[in-house]
Structures are given as C-alpha cells and as structure tokens.
C-alpha cells in the first residue's frame, strides 16, 4: 500500500513537473498580424486577397467559395507565387467530419523525358529547369479551382472571380516588399520575355505604386465565363503553347486539354489528442509531417523548454531521418509504388529513432529506412474557415519567385518552373538542396514531388488549427514547428507562428536557423553535440487559423506582407 502511495506520488510529481524555462529569450517576430473573429475568415499572403476571400464569406459563401476567390485574387496581388500558371494542393475538412485532398499539381508535359535536363556528358544543365519555357509543367490551378467548386461551391463560379478581375483591372498599391522584389527580378523579366509585361516599368517600383494587369483581367474574365475549358482549350491554351514555342518550352495543346485535377485520400494520422489531415503524394508534406510528429511524440517534448538545445536536437534528429526517407521513397504514387503504409507504420517510425541520440548523428550515417513489407495492402498558403464549420488549407505555387519568369504574352500570367522539383539526376540536389531518386524521376504525365503541406488539425470532432506555408523544403518543418509550438510548448497561435524557425533536411548536414533565433549559448550547446549551424534569412510564412476559447484567431505570418480578414 505504502509502495503504491509513493508510486502515485512520484507519478504526480513527474506529471506536475514545471516546464523548464527556455534557456534564452524566445525569439519571435514582433509585428504578427492577428484578428479575432467569431465566424470565419481568411489568412493569406496579401491583405487584398484576404479581403476578397472574406467578401465571399460575408455574402454567405462557404470556405471553398472563398478559397476559389482567394486563389484567383492571389494570382493578381501576389504574382511571386499566387498563380493561374502553376498548381497546388487543397486539404478540406467539412463540417460533418468528411476529409478530402485535392491535387492540382503541375504535370510533366508529354514530351518530357528522364534526362531532359542533362547535357551530353550526363551533367545537369544549369538553370534550364528553373528559367524559361522548358522549366514549366502543365499548370493545374484553374482545373483545381473548378474541381473544388464543382464539388463544394455554392456561389456561381463567375462571381467568385469578380474580386480578382477588379484588382487586376483597376490595380492595387504594392508594398515595399513587392516593389523590392519586382526591382530585383527586372533583368530576369526582360531576359525571358519578348514583349512588355505589367511587371516591368522604366523607373524602379516604389511602395504605393499601382500594379495594373489588364491582360490578366481579360484572362480571368474569360475563365470566369468559360470555366475549365476557358484555360485548357481555345485562345488561352493557344497563347500558352505559343509562349512555350517562343521560350524553348514543350507544353502542347493536347497536354493542356488532358490536364485533370485529382481528388485523393488525405494522409490521416493521430498525434497526441489530435487528428492530422494533410496532403498525400505527389506531396511529401503529409507523410513527412506525420513521420516527424510520430517520431517526437514518444519523447515528452512537453517537458523540454521551447527552443532549448535538447528540444532542437530532438527535432533536428527526427528531421534528418524523415528527409532521408523523402529522398528515396516519395514521388507521384500514380507512377511509382510509394510505400505509404510502411512509411506511416508506427513501429517503423519508432525504429528509425528508438532513443534520442546523445550526439548529432552525421547525415552520412543515415539513409532511407528498410521499410516493413506492405502487409495489407503517400507556394503560397492560405487558410480559410467559414461559419458552417468547414475548413480549407491550400498551398499553391509556381515554384521559384515568379516561376520561370516567363509571362504568357497576351494572357498576362507567369508560368511555373515546377519541373525543377523533379529529380533531374539521382544525387544532384534541386534548387532547395533536396535529393531525389527513381521515385521522383521525370516521366511524361507524372507530377513532381512537392513539399507543400496544407494541413488541418482536428480535435474533439471539429477543426482546431488550419495551416501551411511556402518555403520549398522548409515547408514541412515550418508546419511541424508551428504545430509543436502550440501542442508541446504551449505557445499561443500568434507566438507559435511568429517564433523563430530552424530546419534540417538530412542533406546538407546543417541546421539552418533564422538569424538571431538561437542565442550563442544554445548554439554552443548544439555544436558541442556535433551539429553544424548556418544562419539564414526567413524560413517559411505560416498563415494559420486557430480555434481558441475566445474565438477564431486568424494569424498571418509577420515575416512578409501576409494579411488576415
Ligand atoms: O512544391 C514544392 O515543394 C515547391 N515547388 C515549393 C516552392 C516554394 O515553396 C517556394 N517558396 N518559397
């Protein structure tokens, strides 16, 4: 009896152990934009697009209606990554608990081939997978929006494009950040375009200048009237193909006509008391996020201090292992037998890191795991919730800033350079330093592996957190950190998003850290464990929505121009 009493006391003491204080003042970006609402709202990369999406919610539309409007509004107000010339993923949790994943990722053109980015000596050609027409996959965004609307929309499709058309035709004032970006890429724009484009003017762009895009306004008006065929057939399709021919591209009219958005089964997993709903292949996001969460789940990170060396060490060690799996096992599951069950098998995930290593494990000592056999036979983000209880997480991209830099003449939009997300050659990293293999080799019609991780976390039968991020390979770790910042470290939503971020992707064997995040003491402790640290600029841009006791909290990442409405 006495023993039982002491045992219970001990358990109580451990459970009540106060969380250790962080070994440093937690670095957070100061100007986080939040808004507390009672029904629904939008958080995305641009305040005008957030306002456009929310105007649909206010008029009685649902989260999908608002998502369609936001996607098209971002194509106007956020030319860096918002798009109709690219693709993306949408994760949906409907109020009745139904979950869906929509894949509108770009597709390799029919003329694509495995070695298309290699020279005669087998070396990867510099830049052709990133600049100009040959970098583009067949765009999926318009098909995606039409598919989402067909299944869930309640407002007529044409009406959903009206805010974007207005923004494109009348223009909107650009921010300092956008002005700087447009100035930075001016030479690329001039190099890869034959005719004047809306994004180039003689004098440098300044904050407050109006960006008008009349050609894009006409294109959007046409899509609004004609739906999917307005983009994939007829004059816009012809304009895309003409642009491809002029810029070394290979997308054909048939490629466009055959493009389809695909409904897929989301990655569903459990982590602590939460249900995780995220994107399956051709994104690596959902599988990799789930592997990360499951790896750290058993190590009581909630007893570690936020941004302490021990917590960072644990997360980084998990990241190395799951990114090694990503490089080998993940690709478009319609073309490659992605071992989803094995990758998501709890026993397998646990075996990959049964204990927290004392010292940093060198990347060279890690490789993709030997998966258990399949016994039974997986950039710009916006989050939206509505008053009906529906939640939508969408990440969409043209890959690099302004995609391939090629604007479709007469149609006014940037084409993507998503082909760079394929593995051009095993062992040669892409622009994000990511390695790939057979699973992500180029094949006609195949979709390139992505890191985009639109994610919904549900709890007690309703959505609880809606989030995602841009940032290439750092997307998954940005989403991972935001979730654990709340669930393990007890940070409020705004702090969880604003908190400094770090990232490890197995290769290179380095922890990338936002400047100023780790104090010299934390860095020293990590170096002593054998980690290499490299400070860099912003990592990710998480636009998230949190359900709180006070209401629904919309949170825009403070790092850029993101906004809430
Ligand atoms: O799909 C992917 O993983 C990449 N094309 C995303 C690119 C990206 O996030 C760039 N933005 N920062």
As beta bridge partners, residue 264 has 101
Specify the residue with its C-alpha closest to ligand 1, atom 5: 399
CA of 472 to the centre of ligand 1 (A): 4
Q: What is the position in ligand 1's atom list of the atom closest to the CA of 105?
A: 1
Q: Which of 23, 43, 252, 379 is catalytic?
A: 379
This prediction has a pTM of 0.93
- Residue 380: other Cβ atoms inside 10 A: 31
Locate 47 and state its tokens: 């305040």
pLDDT at residue number 63: 98
The residue nearest atom 11 of ligand 1, judged by CA position, is: 471
Chain CA centroid to CA 520, Å: 31
- Asked whether the predicted pLDDT for residue 368 surpasses 90, the reply is no
**Each residue's pLDDT tens digit, 426-441:** 989 988 989 899 999 9
Atom index in ligand 1 nearest the CA of residue 448 equals: 1
Which ligand 1 atom is at minimum distance from the Cα of 451?
3
477 annotated active-site: no
pLDDT given at position 293:
98
Strands in 380-385's sheet, in edge-to-edge order, are 262-264, 99-104, 87-93, 391-397, 380-385, 41-44, 563-564
Compute the distance from residue 417 Cα to the ligand 1 centre, in Å: 10
Q: What's the pLDDT at 329?
A: 95
Evaluate whether 67 touches 53 at the Cβ level (below 8 Å): yes
Question: Could you tell me the residue ranges of all domains in the chain?
Answer: 11-36+264-378+451-564, 44-88+105-261+403-440
Report whether pLDDT(133) > 70: yes
Query: What pLDDT, on a 0 to 100 scale, did the predictor assign at position 477?
Result: 98
Residue 62: burial class (beta carbons within 10 Å; 0-12, 13-18, 19+): buried
Distance 81 CA to ligand 1 centre (A): 9
pLDDT greater at residue 68 or residue 518: 68
Tens of pLDDT along 240-265?
A: 999 999 999 999 999 999 999 999 99
Interval 472-476 mean pLDDT? 96
With a cut of 80, say whether residue 101 has pLDDT above it: yes
What is the rounded distance in angstroms from the CA atom of residue 504 to the CA atom of residue 358? 17
pLDDT tens-digit readout, 268-282:
999 999 999 999 999
Which residues are within 8 A (CB) of 304 and not within 5 positions of it... i.e. 6 or more apart? 20, 310, 311, 314, 488
Mutation choice for ligand 1 from 415, 472, 476, 477, CB with most ligand atoms inside 8 A: 472
For residue 515, with 0-12 CB atoms within 10 Å meaning exposed, 13-18 middle and 19 or more buried, which class applies?
Answer: exposed
* Protein residues whose CB sits closer than 6 Å to any atom of ligand 1: 379, 397, 399, 418, 421, 450-452, 470-472, 475
Token readout for 125 is: 């050609």
Ligand 1 centroid from CA 295, angstroms: 24
Average pLDDT in the chain: 93
User: How remote is the CA of residue 155 from the centroid of ligand 1, in Å?
Assistant: 30
For residue 524, the model assigns a pLDDT of: 97
Q: SS3 letters for 51-106?
A: HHHHHHHHCCCCHHHHHHHHHHHHHHHCCCCCCCCCEEEEEEECCCCCEEEEEECC
pLDDT, tens digit (0-9, with 9 covering 90-100), for 16-36? 334 544 434 455 676 788 999
pLDDT at 10: 36
Instruction: Give the pLDDT of residue 372.
Output: 56
Strand order in the sheet with 552-556: 33-37, 552-556, 544-547, 462-467, 455-459, 274-278, 267-271
CA-471 nearest atom, ligand 1: 12
Give nearest CA residue, ligand 1 atom 2.
Answer: 450
Task: Report the alpha-carbon distance of residue 208 to residue 211 in Å, rounded.
Answer: 9
Q: Is the peptide bond before 336 cis (omega within 30 degrees of 0)?
A: no
pLDDT band per the 50, 70, 90 thresholds, residue 6: very low
CA 434 to chain centre: 15
Identify the CATH class of 11-36+264-378+451-564: alpha beta
């Amino acid at each position: 009896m006495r023993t039982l009493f002491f045992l219970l006391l001990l358990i109580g003491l451990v459970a009540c152990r106060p969380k250790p204080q962080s070994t440093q003042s937690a670095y957070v970006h100061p100007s986080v934009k939040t808004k507390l609402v009672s029904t629904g709202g939008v958080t995305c990369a641009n305040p005008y697009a957030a306002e456009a999406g929310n105007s649909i919610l206010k008029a009685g539309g649902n989260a999908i209606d608002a998502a369609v409007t936001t996607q098209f509004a971002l194509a106007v107000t956020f030319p860096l990554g918002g798009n109709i010339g690219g693709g993306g993923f949408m994760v949906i949790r409907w109020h009745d608990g139904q979950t869906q994943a929509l894949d509108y990722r770009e597709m390799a053109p029919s003329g694509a081939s495995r070695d298309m980015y290699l020279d005669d000596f087998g070396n990867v050609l510099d830049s052709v997978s990133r600049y100009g027409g040959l970098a583009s996959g067949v765009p999926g965004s318009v098909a995606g929006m039409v598919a989402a609307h067909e299944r869930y929309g309640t407002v007529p499709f044409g009406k959903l494009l009206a805010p974007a058309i207005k923004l494109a035709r009348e223009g909107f004032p650009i921010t300092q950040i956008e002005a700087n970006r447009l100035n930075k890429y001016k030479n690329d724009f001039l190099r890869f375009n034959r005719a004047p484009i809306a994004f180039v003017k003689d004098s440098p762009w300044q904050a407050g200048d109006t960006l008008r895009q009349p050609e894009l306004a006409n294109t959007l008006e046409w899509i609004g009237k004609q739906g999917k065929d307005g983009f994939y057939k007829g004059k816009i399709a012809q304009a895309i193909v003409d642009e491809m021919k002029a810029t070394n591209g290979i997308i054909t009219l048939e490629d466009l006509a055959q493009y389809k958005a695909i409904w897929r089964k989301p990655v569903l997993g459990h982590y602590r008391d939460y249900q995780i709903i995220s994107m399956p292949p051709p994104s690596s996001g959902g599988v990799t996020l789930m592997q990360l969460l499951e790896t750290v789940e058993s190590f009581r990170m909630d007893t570690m201090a936020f941004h302490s060396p021990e917590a960072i060490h644990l997360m980084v060690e998990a990241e190395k292992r799951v990114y090694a799996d990503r490089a080998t096992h993940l690709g478009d599951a319609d073309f490659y037998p992605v071992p989803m069950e094995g990758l998501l098998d709890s026993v397998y995930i646990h075996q990959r890191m049964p204990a927290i290593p004392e010292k940093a494990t060198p990347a060279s000592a890690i490789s993709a795991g030997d998966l258990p056999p399949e016994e039974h036979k997986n950039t710009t983000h916006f989050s939206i919730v509505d008053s009906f209880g529906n939640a939508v997480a969408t990440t969409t991209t043209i890959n690099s800033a302004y995609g391939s830099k090629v604007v479709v003449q007469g149609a006014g939009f940037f084409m993507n350079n998503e082909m760079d997300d394929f593995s051009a050659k095993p062992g040669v990293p892409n622009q994000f330093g990511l390695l790939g293999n057979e699973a992500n080799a180029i094949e006609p019609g195949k979709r390139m592996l992505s890191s985009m991780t639109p994610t919904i976390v549900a709890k007690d039968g309703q959505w609880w957190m809606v989030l995602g991020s841009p940032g290439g390979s750092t997307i998954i770790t940005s989403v991972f950190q935001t979730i654990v910042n709340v669930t393990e470290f007890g940070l409020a939503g705004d702090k969880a998003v604003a908190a400094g971020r770090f990232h490890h992707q197995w290769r290179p064997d380095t922890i990338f850290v936002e400047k100023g995040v780790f104090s010299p003491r934390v860095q020293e402790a990590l170096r002593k464990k054998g980690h290499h640290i490299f400070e860099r600029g912003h990592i990710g841009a998480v636009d998230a929505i949190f359900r709180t006791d006070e209401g629904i909290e919309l949170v825009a990442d403070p790092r850029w121009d993101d906004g809430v409405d």
